[in-house]
Structure 1
């Protein structure tokens, strides 16, 4: 008895012999998990998106309390009727600052605008230095006060930073904590985003426009679009249902795979909630993927069942049992391969990707139950009202594609056409490897790549970037040194040289350090002499000038053992980030002259992106390799032949490699949102390949010639593969209309991979079989799946109960 027969001997009596208790149990579990799925809540977190064990992130976390984080909110208000120095507009800015200050989860001591007490100016008077807050304590919205504010703003060196270059816009900047200090709970980004929209509605009118950016706003916009995502899911269900109905010729048979697929998605969502996870907006791909994989397996099952009923005259029970014996093992192996492959993505230490990995694994594991247990049970009682009419429909359906199947089998199993196909594959491989060098790791565009370029968020980002010279993207380097370094000239001079070096990089708009302010203070202490805007060599003069810069500026810590170097970048494109990081490393290695200072990368939102990009670059090929190692192992255990491994894996790997070329051509960057797509989509290709090759090998082991064996394969499983590829491709094509750019990107990629994997299984696999499948002839008489074609239901199941 083979291993396959032993497995079936255990499982088959449970599913078919105890089908009603099993069905009742599955219904109860589905109801319970559906209840838990209804309690699933959005769960987005800024730290979930970053690799927390990366050295840059360690720097970020080490100095989080002293210098703040990168999870910022930036609100700009623009005066449509002139400059900001108008009483009515200034009142709006004051109230806007107060509203941002009281947003739940905001780190209030770091809220910054010209109205906050941490923004000061210093000026030289005949009697010495004097200074105050930009907005004085006796502020009142009068014309005289507006003139005073105009003067104070110019003295405070905030033009370009908090006030736009044309002085028609002003910023309010805040940082979000990861936990709400009032409740101790994780920040609810949706609540923060809703509050920001309330602020926009409160202050935006014909005289002023409000522009808001920040991670919280991105999450809120993505969450708002989740209603649209649900609509796309419903549209995909309807479209798939119609196509299944047309394909099977029966409404009931068309709905069965859909019902089982919906059950699998319910199980997936319920298991996520039971495991203590929420639904991250970046994981919206997974339910669609689960639906796609489930439909793929369901179509194969229904197709085989219909053939048994129409061609062999089997009853519903006999047809379901026979189909189970033929497809249960290869189908389950394909799904187990998927689960193992998806779990390899867990090796990437980014929390949102790990959640996506477990999410997908839960969903595919659910398909094993719903497709290999629920589906067979439901089909045992499937009622074909008019069997003769059904047989006629099936015969017409078979005849409809017969010419195409015969042409494909006759063409691609012959030596010359097979060689042509393989040569074309080699050309595609070469093109893909050539384009791979153009693949961007990280964002390939300005703005937030998760949202469309014309989204309100990205329009706001462009407005702020275009009107404030310091920009919205910043890379911070922490200069670690000894305590009281602020009074050591050699250390301060080294810091100044580094800032000057980075300021001259093409990707940097401006730099800012403690010394930029202390130089102004020293010049003021030197009677305003312009040539005194230098780093003083005298330690007492240095102490006097640096002491005027408070720690609340975020430029130094309490004992001056850590100094923050701000670099405001022109954008956060991957190329810009890479160039700046390399420039910092080059300076440290080749130009740094002081051993008492350690320049640590990195903080700021660009520093976090740099860490993420480096992890993605290091893991993207590695993870796909792990997925393929798992696939290779399971394929060899399934078929025990080299030909089985080669014929399934080579088309699959070609599609994966070419997907990189497609991404590069479409300008889609490899980032957290897109990294799992190729690895996850491998699951669909594996299913196609296993079903096709298992049926082909079965025919070859029965002594059929390759052409005839593949012709019968196309009739049995090939047409279902073609249908699945087309149906799923059309389903994800609806994503192209999404407001979420990353969903559109994933839709394009999945459309390509679903279709390309289908073509690979139908065209490339037989071409490879022409040269490798001779190995199957050594196993003639050995059936690849035990019991195929045997409808003696009493032999293993013990009869129906």
Structure 2
């Protein structure tokens, strides 16, 4: 049975326009909107590091396998830099010690992976009478004396920290730390924004702010007394102070501690002079968590841009429609759609990802686009003599089908980006789909209902003003309809094909990943990117680090065969273009052996004798981060010059090639081993690692659900998991043949970026193809015409290629933030083509009018709304070009281009193709 458009209208129309159902519809819409508004106001930012990475990628399997032992990729570096002189003085070392302690006790920081010259995991090894001596770089009995400063300087040299934790000119020092993904006690996600704010306030603010802010209780709250200081900060509380909460703790006489949160309304703020203010020390902070904090801090600016877009759209609609009431209607429905979007997001357990800030703009844009079409057609019906109800009904019958097709195409297009296996992109997909579902309701139900109640007080004045506007544009529409004439159509199509050919070749220069130094999310002149430049210029390490795990049998860190492979791998990687420095277990072995030999350069090698290796390596503890507890895994650290896509690709390709060549050389040297045996052994090792990961995640989930530790230990899944781990361990212990060291790529932020870039590159084409596949199916289903398919889709395809070429020319990399823009903008662009083609083919095929005449009338009725909407939407996102967020500027530039290009494609190219594809029925 064939279902036609008339059948659909016959089913839906009574639900909206029936005498009783219309009132019920209004009541239901008001109730749902009120309920979703209550949900929307509860939505919160949702910044999650794991959502930005493809967890199923092989690199990320390695990342998760060793995250507990060697930390993750969410590294933060804090640099304290003196303006002159070296660090070996009381003022600087006191500040560094204080900053290290502050960082260590920030909630969410992994204390086990925090390092500075003041932490116990930073040590040196030296040869003394009777053997080796190891010690902390800064002794436990540190006191600010000239003799101690000299000792610290000597220990820094012995530990090889110059260029690493101490700047190359020794005028500054680093604190390197990592942020935990989940609170180990509660299992809840770490609030990355709060961690960033704490680091900014408690480290940079301590030395950069002349003022200290004390928060005193207004009234007693036992055991806290009135006027007692319960919190302090170095940054101004701001206008949101009353809405903030401050954590306070107090030690009771029985040595127990009590903790309590106070709202800003319970506290008064006192400003005092900051005793730690030191303009001679500059603080620089970099890392993913700090990026998230800076992006979130710019959210107020994003809201300002949103408000400007709303106001600008309202003024443009007022001018275009000639009525404030009509202008407020599509805008009001669009804002309701955004409210529904946020409400549905919270209802389904989502938050707002800082990198998904464009989605509410797109929802507003799509809703406004359809709203303008609806109100424009309604107004034309009114000036034709119909009342508000009849005009709304006629408009509904005219636009419901093509509008619904366009919106369903949007939903399907947005749904396809969920093919990318990255949490933040899938959340963005869900966000956009929920927004589009809201638009369907607000534009296809709410808008018609409200228009059916809307009347025009002075019909004659409205009609004369409207007709004057229509007539004023007639000469432009008649001129523009010339694109349907054969010579003009041929010229336009030829020019577009020439541009397409050039763009097709230019798009190959587009970069997958980041295309600039620093982070592309923030502007080059931002504080963060200046911090990146400062750390890069003073240290041989930075936030851009690739950790490669050298995997072998347990205890093999005293086997020359193993260490020689690792040492060779480090040497080759150190000499790879893009790698600034490298270190690993054998770096410490070489240093210790050379020290054992009175620093003779000839002994700066890995000793071959296993007994010597036992002696040399016994001082290298697991807390150095250079090996795990049984020495079956040793991380190798490679610091890269930057995280540009080209650098990452070259370094990763080199690592893969070296791992393969190492295995080939090993099998030639040790014929007893073979690739099949070693592949089976590696699979067993990887499986064991993944079992540990599953156990850790299950334990964290149970903790987050409030399950007690005893209940967790007794949980059958936990018990069975540990039994399986023991079984796998026994199987692995039986694998006694030697195998080559496996250099597993995977952790560090460079490993994460490499995995992300590979996933984005591999999924881009499927995503775009699925978007077009959905469009093709819906267009063919609706119009049953290949002519319709070509007229609507050819301009869309061209704009996609033009956008790729634009990204290549402007150096905008294809990555997590930009891939959805390309896919989503295609979904929006199809609206223009459908509205133009639907009316044009109706006038040509059904009414039998000549093409140029039909297109003149199409422009007069629908085309003008398409042009207005395209210009209005492009103008709305044009303000993004002035944003403090670089990725918002990039997205704004792409959207301005795609909104404008899609509008021009629908208005100019589609009718040009109609000249050759659309034929009147005889």
User: Are 1:218 and 2:311 matched, yes or no?
Assistant: no
1:403 aligns with one of 475, 489, 492: 475
Q: What is the rounded CA distance, in whole Å, between the counterparts of 1:554 and 1:746 in structure 2?
A: 40
1:548 aligns with one of 589, 603, 619: 619
1:143 CA drift (Å): 2.6
Verify the 8 A CA contact 2:134 2:619 in the aligned structure 1: no
1:523 CA drift (Å): 2.1
1:746 aligns with one of 850, 873, 891: 891
User: Are 1:500 and 2:571 matched, yes or no?
Assistant: yes
- 2:797 matched residue in structure 1: 653
1:296 aligns with one of 353, 365, 369: 369
- 1:566 matched residue in structure 2: 637
Verify the 8 A CA contact 1:443 1:574 in the aligned structure 2: yes
1:130 CA drift (Å): 2.1
2:88 aligns with one of 80, 85, 88: 85
- Greater shift, 670-679 or 594-603, is seen at 594-603
Map 1:414-425 to 2 at 5 A. Answer: 414-425=485-496
- 1:201 matched residue in structure 2: 205
Verify the 8 A CA contact 1:346 1:354 in the aligned structure 2: yes
**1:403-462 CA-partner distances (Å, limit 9, x unpaired):** 1111111x2111111111111111111121111111010000011111111111111111
1:574 CA drift (Å): 0.2
- 1:153 matched residue in structure 2: 156
1:464 CA drift (Å): 0.7
- 1:447 matched residue in structure 2: 518
Q: What is the rounded CA distance, in whole Å, between the counterparts of 1:624 and 1:2 in structure 2?
A: 29
Q: What is the rounded CA distance, in whole Å, between the counterparts of 1:526 and 1:143 in structure 2?
A: 30
Map 1:91-110 to 2 at 5 A. Answer: 91-110=94-113
Which SS does the other structure have where 2:509 is aligned? coil
1:207 CA drift (Å): 1.5
**1:74-119 CA-partner distances (Å, limit 9, x unpaired):** 1111112421111011101000000000011111111100000111
Which SS does the other structure have where 1:245 is aligned? helix
Which SS does the other structure have where 1:355 is aligned? helix
Verify the 8 A CA contact 2:483 2:912 in the aligned structure 1: yes
- 2:652 matched residue in structure 1: 581
1:543 CA drift (Å): 2.0
1:203 CA drift (Å): 2.3
Which SS does the other structure have where 2:45 is aligned? coil
For the aligned residue pairs, the C-alpha RMSD in angstroms reads 1.2
Q: Give the TM-score normalised by the residue count of structure 1.
A: 0.95
1:472 CA drift (Å): 2.5
User: Are 1:756 and 2:756 matched, yes or no?
Assistant: no
Q: What is the rounded CA distance, in whole Å, between the counterparts of 1:235 and 1:143 in structure 2?
A: 60
- 1:326 matched residue in structure 2: 398
1:526 CA drift (Å): 3.1
Which SS does the other structure have where 1:495 is aligned? helix
- 1:672 matched residue in structure 2: 816
Q: What is the rounded CA distance, in whole Å, between the counterparts of 1:130 and 1:494 in structure 2?
A: 27
1:528 CA drift (Å): 3.5
Verify the 8 A CA contact 2:77 2:542 in the aligned structure 1: no
**1:532-582 CA-partner distances (Å, limit 9, x unpaired):** 111111111122222221112222112221121111111110000000111
User: Are 1:713 and 2:828 matched, yes or no?
Assistant: no
Verify the 8 A CA contact 2:44 2:352 in the aligned structure 1: yes
- 1:375 matched residue in structure 2: 447
**1:691-712 CA-partner distances (Å, limit 9, x unpaired):** 0000001101211111111111
1:654 CA drift (Å): 0.6
1:591 CA drift (Å): 4.9
Verify the 8 A CA contact 2:114 2:177 in the aligned structure 1: yes
Verify the 8 A CA contact 2:75 2:543 in the aligned structure 1: no
Which SS does the other structure have where 1:437 is aligned? helix
- 1:385 matched residue in structure 2: 457
**1:30-76 CA-partner distances (Å, limit 9, x unpaired):** 11101100000000111100000000000111111111111111111
- 1:516 matched residue in structure 2: 587
1:482 CA drift (Å): 1.3
User: Are 1:125 and 2:128 matched, yes or no?
Assistant: yes
Q: What is the rounded CA distance, in whole Å, between the counterparts of 2:180 and 2:192 in structure 1?
A: 11
Q: What is the rounded CA distance, in whole Å, between the counterparts of 1:292 and 1:95 in structure 2?
A: 50
Q: What is the rounded CA distance, in whole Å, between the counterparts of 1:151 and 1:479 in structure 2?
A: 31
- Greater shift, 637-646 or 559-568, is seen at 559-568
- 2:6 matched residue in structure 1: 5
Q: What is the rounded CA distance, in whole Å, between the counterparts of 1:528 and 1:443 in structure 2?
A: 43
1:241 aligns with one of 282, 296, 314: 314
Q: How many residues align?
A: 775
Q: What is the rounded CA distance, in whole Å, between the counterparts of 2:867 and 2:547 in structure 1?
A: 52
Which SS does the other structure have where 2:638 is aligned? strand
- Greater shift, 610-619 or 489-498, is seen at 489-498
Verify the 8 A CA contact 2:803 2:894 in the aligned structure 1: yes
- Greater shift, 158-167 or 518-527, is seen at 518-527
User: Are 1:14 and 2:15 matched, yes or no?
Assistant: yes
Q: What is the rounded CA distance, in whole Å, between the counterparts of 1:70 and 1:368 in structure 2?
A: 41
Q: What is the rounded CA distance, in whole Å, between the counterparts of 2:3 and 2:419 in structure 1?
A: 35
Q: What is the rounded CA distance, in whole Å, between the counterparts of 2:617 and 2:740 in structure 1?
A: 19
Map 1:32-43 to 2 at 5 A. Answer: 32-43=35-46
- 1:792 matched residue in structure 2: none
Q: What is the rounded CA distance, in whole Å, between the counterparts of 1:478 and 1:150 in structure 2?
A: 32
Which SS does the other structure have where 2:918 is aligned? helix
Q: What is the rounded CA distance, in whole Å, between the counterparts of 1:567 and 1:73 in structure 2?
A: 16
Verify the 8 A CA contact 2:124 2:134 in the aligned structure 1: yes
Which SS does the other structure have where 1:63 is aligned? helix
Verify the 8 A CA contact 1:105 1:181 in the aligned structure 2: no
1:320 CA drift (Å): 0.5
1:588 CA drift (Å): 2.6
1:216 CA drift (Å): 1.3
Q: What is the rounded CA distance, in whole Å, between the counterparts of 1:697 and 1:268 in structure 2?
A: 34
- 1:789 matched residue in structure 2: none
- 2:411 matched residue in structure 1: 339
Which SS does the other structure have where 2:310 is aligned? helix
- 2:218 matched residue in structure 1: none
1:2 CA drift (Å): 5.8
- Unaligned runs of at least 5 residues, structure 1: 781-801
Q: What is the rounded CA distance, in whole Å, between the counterparts of 2:43 and 2:180 in structure 1?
A: 24
- Greater shift, 388-397 or 546-555, is seen at 546-555
Verify the 8 A CA contact 1:56 1:603 in the aligned structure 2: yes
Q: What is the rounded CA distance, in whole Å, between the counterparts of 1:74 and 1:358 in structure 2?
A: 34
Q: What is the rounded CA distance, in whole Å, between the counterparts of 1:506 and 1:358 in structure 2?
A: 41
- Greater shift, 157-166 or 520-529, is seen at 520-529
2:74 aligns with one of 71, 74, 79: 71
1:264 aligns with one of 329, 337, 354: 337
- 1:799 matched residue in structure 2: none
1:515 CA drift (Å): 0.6
Which SS does the other structure have where 1:211 is aligned? strand
1:470 CA drift (Å): 2.2
Q: What is the rounded CA distance, in whole Å, between the counterparts of 1:565 and 1:173 in structure 2?
A: 16
Which SS does the other structure have where 2:576 is aligned? coil
1:154 CA drift (Å): 1.4
**1:577-621 CA-partner distances (Å, limit 9, x unpaired):** 000111112223335422421121121110110000000010112
1:437 aligns with one of 500, 508, 514: 508
Verify the 8 A CA contact 1:293 1:683 in the aligned structure 2: no
Verify the 8 A CA contact 2:406 2:830 in the aligned structure 1: yes
- 2:547 matched residue in structure 1: 476
- 1:695 matched residue in structure 2: 839
Verify the 8 A CA contact 1:413 1:706 in the aligned structure 2: yes
1:335 CA drift (Å): 0.5
- Unaligned runs of at least 5 residues, structure 2: 209-277, 667-738
- 2:194 matched residue in structure 1: 191
- 1:428 matched residue in structure 2: 499
1:525 CA drift (Å): 2.6
Q: What is the rounded CA distance, in whole Å, between the counterparts of 2:473 and 2:574 in structure 1?
A: 67
